[in-house]
């Protein structure tokens, strides 16, 4: 099994599409006002937005996008006017993360984990 796509809710795709393009995603489907799909710049995953009349309540979901050069990417996005809630920070789980919210309040985490993403020191041996 391979994770192919994640879809998040949006109140206004016409505003959300440029935000995600600034992050570096490539728009490949534009079916306004209800749906938009993006291709991630690396790998074969896609990410999409689906129009909703109201957003979910509570903590919601977190979407992680891995960046090989996290600090440089965050700096580039800040220069484009994107605000971050957390600057690149080393985490105890051995990832470096920067956090921001999209225009609908969805939590986005840009991170770099390297080998620790799939093989942390505490990985369970299932052999």
Within-domain flag for 123: no
Within-domain flag for 101: yes
Distance CA 30, CA 49 (A): 10
pLDDT of residue 59: 80
Say which CATH number the domain at 85 has: 3.10.180.10
pLDDT of residue 105: 93
Put the strands of the sheet holding 62-66 in their side by side order.
62-66, 107-112, 96-101, 86-90
Within-domain flag for 92: yes
Q: From first to last of the 127 residues of the chain, give the pLDDT tens digit.
A: 888 999 999 999 999 999 999 999 999 999 999 999 999 998 899 999 999 999 988 888 899 999 999 999 999 999 999 999 999 999 999 999 999 999 999 999 999 999 999 999 999 987 7
Within-domain flag for 126: no
Put the strands of the sheet holding 26-31 in their side by side order.
5-10, 46-51, 35-39, 26-31
How many domains does the chain contain in total?
1
Within-domain flag for 125: no
Report which DSSP code applies to 66.
E
**How many residues appear in the chain?**
127
pLDDT of residue 3: 84
Check if the beta carbon of residue 14 is closer than 8 Å to that of residue 21: no
Q: What H or E segment, with its residue span, contains residue 18?
A: helix 13-23
pLDDT of residue 2: 81
pLDDT of residue 17: 98
- Whether the model pTM is above 0.85: yes
Distance CA 49, CA 96 (A): 26
Q: Give the chain's end-to-end CA distance (angstroms, integer).
A: 18
């Amino acid at each position: 099994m391979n994770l192919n796509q994640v879809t998040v809710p949006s109140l206004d795709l016409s505003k959300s599409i440029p935000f995600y393009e600034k992050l570096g995603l490539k728009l490949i489907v534009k079916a306004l006002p209800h749906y938009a799909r993006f291709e991630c710049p690396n790998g074969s995953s896609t990410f999409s937005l689906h129009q909703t009349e109201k957003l979910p309540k509570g903590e919601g979901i977190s979407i992680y996008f891995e960046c090989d050069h996290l600090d440089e990417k965050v700096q580039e996005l800040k220069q484009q006017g994107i605000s971050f809630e957390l600057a690149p920070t080393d985490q105890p789980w051995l990832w470096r993360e920067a956090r921001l919210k999209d225009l609908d309040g969805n939590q986005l985490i840009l991170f770099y984990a390297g080998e620790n993403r799939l093989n942390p020191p505490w990985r369970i041996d299932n052999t």
